[in-house]
């Protein structure tokens, strides 16, 4: 019985460690850009910086990717969370 408890406990720790490592692993920038492009229409171009950087907003700190979207009418800069791929902030670029 003691051996079964040790094996069960070890298995649970390994599974929990695996899922924990998935949560704290940077997403592929190409996949992040693909997901963000789905939110825009009439895209003429898009780019993303592959170098993650630290970002602080409202007292929260996270790792981000910076990029941009170019549509037929406007241009946008964006910031996306490097772990989840979620869009954090978008800024419209005004050209003079």
Any domain includes 8: no
- Tens of pLDDT, residue by residue over 10-45, are 888 888 888 777 667 889 999 999 999 998 888 999
In a domain, 76, yes or no: yes
Q: Which of 47 and 3 is assigned the larger pLDDT?
A: 47
Q: What percent of the chain has pLDDT over 70?
A: 95
Number of domains in the chain: 1
CATH of the domain at 32: 3.10.450
Sign of CA dihedral 24, 28, 33, 38: negative
H helix runs in 2-96, sequence order: 2-23, 29-37
Rounded to a whole number of angstroms, the distance between the first and last alpha carbons of the chain is 76
pLDDT classification of 96: cutoffs 50, 70, 90: low
Confidence at residue 25, expressed as pLDDT on a 0 to 100 scale: 84
Is the residue at 64 inside a domain? yes
Domain of residue 52, residue span = 26-93
Assess whether pLDDT exceeds 80 at residue 91: yes
Q: Does the residue 81 lie in any domain?
A: yes
């Amino acid at each position: 019985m003691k051996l079964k408890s040790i094996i069960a406990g070890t298995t649970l720790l390994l599974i929990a460690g695996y899922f924990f490592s998935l949560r704290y692993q940077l997403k592929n920038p190409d996949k992040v850009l693909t997901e963000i492009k789905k939110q825009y229409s009439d895209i003429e171009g898009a780019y993303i910086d592959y170098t993650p950087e630290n970002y602080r907003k409202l007292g929260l700190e996270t790792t981000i990717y910076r990029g941009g979207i170019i549509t037929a009418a406007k241009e946008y800069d964006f910031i996306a969370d490097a772990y989840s791929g979620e869009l954090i902030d978008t800024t419209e670029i005004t050209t003079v």
